[in-house]
Structure 1
Amino acid sequence: MADTLTKDRKAPRAGSAATVPQVISVTSGKGGVGKTNISVNLATMLARKGKRVVLMDADLGLANVDVLLGLTPEKNLFHLFEEGAKLTDVLLDTPYGFKILPAASGVAEMLELDTGQKLDLLESMDVLENNVDFLIVDTGAGINENVLYFNLAVQERLLVLTPEPTSLTDAYALIKVLKAEHGVQRFRVVVNMAKTPAAAKEVYSKLHNACDQFLSGISLDLVGVLPLDPGVRTAVINQKPFSVMYPDGPATTALTNVVSKITSWKGTAQLDGNIKFFWKKLLFQD
C-alpha cells in the first residue's frame, strides 16, 4: 500500500486535473445517533462507485470505526504522534474498497490535539493529495475542542440527528457554537432512525425553525432520512456495513440517495475542499 501511494503521489489519474479531494465531516451533537455507522456505510458505498475513499476516525480517544468493521489495526494515530510512524503505516485497507485512518481508544493523550500534533498530521497528509477522492471525517459527538476543530476544517458538514428531543437540542447546540464562535453557516442534515417520514420531517422542521429564530444566516439542507431498520443492528452485531449485508434494505436504499447527493457536491470544493486545506486550516485554528 505504501509503495502504491508513493508511486502515484505526483500523478493524478487521467482526466482528474480539475478535481480535488472532497472533505466531509459526519458529526453530531449527541452520541448514539448512528454517526459512525453512517460514516462507514458512506465510505463503503462511495468506494463501490469507484471512488478512492479514506475514512478518518476523528473520535480520537474513543475510536470505534475499526470495531464496526471487525478490524484490528496494528497502528493508529497514536503511533503517528508518539512513535514516529508514517501515515502509510497507519492507513488500513478494508475488505470494502476503502481505507481507514484509525484512532486510539482509551488513550487520554489523544483527547485534545496540540499544535505539534496538528503539524505532524499536516506534513503526513501530503501523500494522499492525489490518491483520494473523498476524505470522510467521523468526528466525536458534542462540542469539545476536537469536534469543533474537525468541523471547522472540512468543506461540508453532515449533521446526524434522530427524532429524540435530546438529539435535537444537542444538534442545535453544536450549530450554535460553530456559528456564534466560528462563523460556520452551512450544514447538511441527515435524520436517522426515523420511525416514519412524518417524524423525520417534524424534527428537521423544529431544528430549522430554531435556527431561523435564533441564529440568523444558517443554511440547513436536509439531504436524507434513514428509517428505523432492524437490519442495521444486525449488521453492527456482525461487524459489517449494513449496505453490504442488506444491499436492498430500507436503510441502504435511503443512504443511496444521500450518496448521490454527496457526489454532486464535489464541484463546490474547488476552492477549499482539498486535503491540504483541511489540515492547514486545522493547524492554524489556535
Structure 2
Amino acid sequence: MVDALRSARVVALGGGHGLAASLSALRLVCEQVTAIVTVADNGGSSGRLRDDYDVLPPGDLRMALTALCDDSEWGQTWGDVLQHRFTGDGDLSGHALGNLLIVALWQLHDDPVTGLDLVGRLLSARGRVLPMAAVPLELLAEVTGLDQADPAASTTVRGQVAVARTQGLVQSISLVPDDPPARPESVAAVDEADHIILGPGSWYTSVLTHLLVPELREALTRARAHKVLTLNLQMHTAETRGFSATRHIETLHALAPELRFDTVLTDPTTIDDRDRLVEACGTLGADLAVAPLARLDRAGEHDTLRLAAAYRDILS
C-alpha cells in the first residue's frame, strides 16, 4: 500500500504557509504531487508586481515551488535563492527573488504555467505547481462589527490583505471577477487525482477561495478521488475570530453544499466538542481523523514528519 501511495496522483489546494506545510509533508510520502494555488494575494511583493505588470500574484506560487524542491544540495540551494528577500531602501526592497524570476519567465513565455514548470525544473521539484485561476482575482468579504453605531451592519472589505486583517466578523466572501476561468491544467489535475487535500491555510483567503472558482468547484465535486480536508492548528485568527473546528466545516459546507469529503484531519488540541465535530464531518460525508500534527517547539506550526505520517496513514 505504501508503494501504491508513492505512485499515486495527489493534488493539494491552498495557499501561503498552510499549503507549503502540506506540500512539505506530502513530498515525503508520494512522488506525484500537484499544488493548485490561490491567486488572490494583493499584498507585499506579490501585490506590487501584480499592479505593475498585470500578472498573477507570484508569492504563493513561489512558496509552493520551494516547498516541493528536491532535498539535494542543488534543490535546497536554489530553494533558498528563490526565497531570498531584498532588504534596504531601493526599488528591490521587499521583493523575493523568486517572485522576480517567475514574473521574468512570464514575460518570456505567454503561458504562465510554462514559466512555473521551468522554475520547477530549476528546483528539481517533486511535483508541479499550478494557479487555480487564469486571471488575478480580487477577494471581497461582507463583514459585520466594523460600524460601532450599528455592529450588525455589513461592510464590504476589498482585497486579500484587508480581509485577512479585518477586525470585524467575516460573513461571506466572493471574487472579482465573480465567474473566473479556471486553469484547464488545474481542472485536469483534479479530474485525474487519486487523492485530493484541501487545507490547511487561512480559511477565507487561502482555502475557501478555491470553491469560488466554478469550474474548479465542479471538478472537486465530481472527482472520485479520496478527499481530505485538513483543518488548521489555530482556530482563532483575525478572519476566523471565535471559530471552532466545527464552525470551519460549517462555513465550507454552506459555500459548497454539494462537495463531499472522505476524511477530516485535525490535531487533538483543536477539538472542543467532539460530538458536534463528528456531526459536522458527517454533513460532508467524512470520517474524523485525529492525530498530533503540531511542532512541539513552535505553537501553531505543523510538524512536517507528523503531518506526513498522518497523510500516509489516511491515504494508504
TM-score between the two structures when normalised by the length of structure 2: 0.47
CA change 1:99–1:186 in 2 (3 A) is: closer
What's the secondary structure of 1:64's corresponding residue?
Answer: helix
Tell me whether 1:184 sits opposite 2:259 in the alignment: yes
> Which residue of the partner structure matches residue 60 of structure 2?
64
Residue among 137, 142, 160 paired with 2:204: 142
**Residues of 2 paired with 1:167 and 1:190: CA distance?**
21
Structure 1 residues 270-281: aligned runs within 5 Å = none
- Opposite residue 263 of structure 2, the aligned amino acid is R
Provide, for residues 125-160 of structure 1, a one-character-per-residue CA deviation record: whole Å limited to 9, x for no partner: 659988x87676666522897242356643524232
Note the alpha carbon deviations across 1:211-243, whole angstroms, 9 max, x for none: 62897575342253213433689xx9xxxxx8x
Q: Secondary structure at the match of 1:253?
A: helix
Shift of 1:52: 1.7
Measure the CA separation in 1 of the matches of 2:304 and 2:279.
31
Q: CA deviation at 1:260?
A: 0.8
Question: Is contact 1:61-1:103 (8 Å) kept?
Answer: no
Which residue of structure 2 aligns with residue 98 of structure 1?
Answer: 127
- Rounded Cα–Cα distance in structure 2 between residues aligned with 1:214 and 1:52: 28
Segments of 5+ residues of structure 2 without an aligned counterpart are 43-58, 67-79, 83-97, 140-174
Tell me the alpha carbon deviations over residues 174-229 of structure 1, each in whole angstroms, 9 at most, x when there is no partner: 4224434523343633435xxxx5xx2xx325264156289757534225321343
Q: Count residues with an aligned counterpart.
A: 208
Q: Distance in 1 between matches of 2:242 and 2:62?
A: 28
RMSD in angstroms over aligned alpha carbons?
A: 4.8
Cα separation, partners in 2 of 1:160 and 1:100, compared to 1, 3 Å: same
The match for 1:160 among 231, 241, 244 is 231
Superimposed CA distance per residue, residues 73-127 of structure 1 (whole angstroms, 9 cap, x where no aligned partner): 4347xx69xx9415233333145523333689xx655854554622xx1267659
Q: Contact 2:231–2:265 (CA<8 Å) still a contact in 1?
A: yes
- Which of the residues 101, 117, 122 maps onto 2:184? 122
> How many angstroms apart in 1 are the aligned matches of 2:30 and 2:235?
35
What's the TM-score, normalizing by structure 1? 0.50
Q: For the structure 1 residues 216 and 55, does the alpha-carbon distance in structure 2 shift closer, same or farther, using more than 3 Å as the test?
A: closer
User: Secondary structure of 1:146's match?
Assistant: helix
CA 170–216 in structure 1, closer or farther in 2 if over 3 Å, else same: same
Unmatched 5+ residue regions in structure 1? 1-15, 27-34, 237-241, 243-250, 265-286
Of the two, which has the highest radius of gyration?
2
Residue 147 to residue 52, structure 1, CA distance change in 2 (3 Å)? closer
Q: CA deviation at 1:51?
A: 1.0
- Structural mapping, 1:261-272, within 5 Å: 261-264=313-316
Higher relative contact order (CA 8 A, sep 6+): 1
